[in-house]
């Protein structure tokens, strides 16, 4: 039995909430509507306070308060929930969707269960008439729900670096684009930190690539436990990583980078038999009116990182215009 906080974290891990309609999910709801011959089908995710429809057919609503969600009961079990007559069930008889438009009567929903046991949403079929489905059809609905989760997992694999758990370069780039656009639109601050493991080639040469892989894994683990939930880390290649910190000034980003630097340099179980300990260098930059695009923000952080490594490594350097002048 997983906790509610773990379940909600699993929902958000897929980063599908509030995203546009997409053909792979729309195909599944269209197929379910044809198979079960019902007027309403939706594929939904259930967050902490709401039910949000990723794909919906036959209903205008794309979001419901969780206390009004019929599917809130479905996610508590591991098999499809079928209610032939919602009015005859005390759990749903007073539900606004039953007593008012669209006056639902029949419900069949299968939980979207992840491989680690979290029910993050549902695939469900609804009708305004009392009806039932066979056990075989319930299994078909369950199979379609599994296909939905498989599609979601494939997307997750494409956005997560298999070794470290950080975002892939492409996924990080997409997320940075969105974050920078948001910062520009609302005149918000945005920090960026580039990270490079010091002397990483020596680690691989001396201890072997399996140990080098462990170093990268531990570095990302420290980033995730040290940073806020709203921050995100991506692997840009090899031993180079980048972190984006929304709503963060340059000075606050420097403070966050210094916490990461100390956490890496002092991690007692980083690689116990290694000497000296692993360290990393950090380049910090922040969005301002002169930053035109994500590439420019990353370039500023990269210039600061170069300065950190040139000045002796294991330190944090913040971008300044003088660094740009020296590079030019």
- Work out the burial of residue 78: count CB atoms within 10 Å of its CB; fewer than 13 is exposed, 13-18 middle, 19 or more buried: exposed
The tokens describing 266, both together, are 């002092």
DSSP state of 273: T
Cis peptide bond prior to 163, omega within 30° of 0? no
- Cα separation of 130 and 103, whole Å? 11
Q: Strands 40-46 and 240-246: what pairing?
A: unpaired
- Cα separation of 115 and 42, whole Å? 22
The phi and psi torsions of 129 (rounded to 5 degrees) equal: -120, 150
- Cα separation of 282 and 317, whole Å? 6
The tokens describing 15, both together, are 């980063």
Q: Does 321 qualify as catalytic in the annotation?
A: no
| 19, 133, 248 from 103: Cα distances, Å | 28, 19, 47
Which one of the listed residues 63, 189, 239, 267 is annotated catalytic? 239
The sign of the torsion formed by the CA atoms of 117, 119, 125, 126 equals positive
DSSP state of 181: H
Catalytic residues: 239
């Amino acid at each position: 039995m997983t906790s509610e906080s773990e379940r909600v974290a699993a929902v958000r891990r897929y980063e599908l909430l509030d995203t546009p309609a997409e053909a792979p999910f729309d195909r599944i709801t269209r197929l379910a509507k044809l198979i079960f011959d019902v007027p309403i089908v939706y594929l939904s995710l259930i967050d902490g306070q709401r039910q949000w429809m990723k794909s919906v057919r036959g209903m205008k609503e794309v979001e419901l308060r969780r206390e009004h969600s019929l599917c809130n009961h479905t996610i508590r079990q591991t098999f499809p929930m079928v209610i032939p007559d919602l009015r005859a069930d005390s759990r749903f008889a007073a539900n606004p969707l039953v007593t008012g438009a669209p006056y639902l009567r029949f419900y069949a929903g299968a939980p979207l269960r992840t491989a680690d046991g979290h029910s993050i949403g549902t695939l469900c079929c609804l009708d305004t008439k009392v009806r039932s489905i066979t056990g075989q059809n319930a299994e078909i609905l369950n199979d379609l729900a599994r296909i939905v989760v498989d599609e979601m997992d494939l997307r997750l694999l494409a956005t997560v670096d298999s070794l470290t758990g950080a975002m892939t370069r492409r996924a990080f780039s997409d997320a940075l684009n969105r974050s920078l656009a948001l910062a520009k639109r609302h005149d918000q601050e945005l920090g960026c930190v580039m990270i490079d493991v010091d002397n990483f080639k020596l680690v691989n040469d001396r201890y072997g690539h399996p140990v080098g892989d462990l170093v990268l894994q531990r570095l990302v683990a420290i980033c995730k436990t040290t940073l806020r939930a709203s921050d995100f880390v991506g692997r840009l290649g090899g031993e180079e990583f980048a972190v984006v910190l929304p709503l963060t000034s340059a000075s606050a980003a420097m403070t966050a980078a210094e916490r990461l630097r100390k956490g890496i340099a002092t991690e007692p179980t980083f690689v116990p038999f290694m000497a000296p300990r692993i360290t990393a260098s950090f380049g910090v930059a922040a969005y301002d009116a002169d930053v035109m695009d994500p590439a420019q923000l990353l370039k500023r952080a990269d210039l600061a990182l170069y300065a950190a490594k040139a000045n002796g490594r294991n330190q944090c350097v913040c971008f300044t215009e003088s660094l740009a002048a020296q590079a030019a």
